[in-house]
Amino acid sequence: MIDRNLWLKEKYQNRLNGDWPCPTCGKGTLVPNPKQLLVAESAQTFKERQEEFFEPWLSLMRFSIVLRCSNSICGETVISTGILDYFLDYEFDDASYQMVEVHPRIFKPIFFHPQLQIFHIPENCPEDINKQINIAFSNFFHDQSASANSIRTALEILMNEQGVRKQFISRKGKKETYKLHQRIEFFGKSNPELSPFLMAAKWIGNAGSHIGQLTREDLLDGFELLQHAIEELYVKPNRLKELKSKSQAIIKRKKPISTKKKNP
């Protein structure tokens, strides 16, 4: 299952410490480097700064920052960009013995390059499905609709990969395409356990076409359903095949595979 705490938080106080896994090695976590932080004032803040009403905590800034993988063997770098906001708070000042105004900063990340891997895509996953999932990952933070559309496209490709029929000849003799809904139903005839998961993922994908109806939480549901289908269709069968040939070899030898013949 996906660790939701990593993906649902939208604001980070003072430091962009999301503990996101490295997209390259998957072992390290991404650590922001404050020396590689670039902050630029928005035009609106630049104008308002001249006004009397201006307060520092009303500033709207843009940022970009480099995050580096904590796994020293990997050392991958990821760049994040987004909005830097401030808010108004008060702190006790030891020197003046008074409460003073402070303006802690809030990072709101919008993009990551390369895109973060919200779940690990297995090596056996077909390339075109892998590609769509990565597009869904790259849109996850800033465009939930676009992300959901890619989930839907991944399902269409999954149906193609599974050899589910796509076209039919209409009564008028025209070549027509089955809807994804129907194709998942066809698929369900030979995969009754898996098809409800794909149907649910399809409804999340469909919601992508209706602006403003999707949350990050919905997308995570879609990813989990897709992840499960990929595991079942492309990981489990290969694992079973490997274990089967291994166990057959052990049974035939009546001893572990690595056991060497005794030297004469």
Question: Smallest Cα–Cα separation from 180: which of 197, 207, 160, 210?
Answer: 160
- Binding span for Zn ion by CB under 5 A among 28-36, 117-125, 145-153, 232-240: 28-36
The whole-angstrom separation of Cα 187 and Cα 19 is 38
Beta carbon of residue 119, minimum distance to Zn ion (angstroms, whole number): 16
DSSP class of 21: B
- Binding span for Zn ion by CB under 5 A among 64-72, 166-174, 191-199, 202-210: 64-72
Choose between 78 and 136: whose C-beta lies nearer to Zn ion. 78
Strands 175-177 and 167-169: antiparallel
The whole-angstrom separation of Cα 2 and Cα 17 is 18
Residue of the chain from 6, 25, 61, 200 that contacts Zn ion (CB under 5 A): 25
Question: Smallest Cα–Cα separation from 126: which of 169, 157, 167?
Answer: 157
- Binding span for Zn ion by CB under 5 A among 3-11, 37-45, 63-71, 231-239: 63-71
3-state secondary structure of 237: helix
Residue 76 touching Zn ion (CB under 5 A): yes
Distances (CA, A) of 39 to 55, 94, 137: 18, 30, 25
Choose between 69 and 207: whose C-beta lies nearer to Zn ion. 69
Give every CB contact of residue 13 below 8 A, 6+ residues apart in sequence.
104, 105, 106, 107
The whole-angstrom separation of Cα 102 and Cα 94 is 14
Residue 85 touching Zn ion (CB under 5 A): no
Residue of the chain from 17, 42, 45, 71 that contacts Zn ion (CB under 5 A): 71
Tokens (6 digits) for 137: 């990952």
- Binding span for Zn ion by CB under 5 A among 9-17, 38-46, 68-76, 182-190: 68-76
- Binding span for Zn ion by CB under 5 A among 67-75, 78-86, 92-100, 250-258: 67-75
Residue of the chain from 6, 58, 74, 146 that contacts Zn ion (CB under 5 A): 74
Residue 28 touching Zn ion (CB under 5 A): yes
Residue of the chain from 16, 65, 69, 118 that contacts Zn ion (CB under 5 A): 69
Choose between 75 and 196: whose C-beta lies nearer to Zn ion. 75
Choose between 66 and 199: whose C-beta lies nearer to Zn ion. 66
Question: Smallest Cα–Cα separation from 222: which of 206, 238, 244, 243?
Answer: 206
Binding residues for Zn ion, rule CB under 5 A, total: 8
Residue 22 touching Zn ion (CB under 5 A): yes
Question: Smallest Cα–Cα separation from 61: which of 81, 87, 41?
Answer: 41
Residues at the contact surface with Zn ion, assessed by CB under 5 A: 22, 24-25, 28, 69, 71, 74, 76
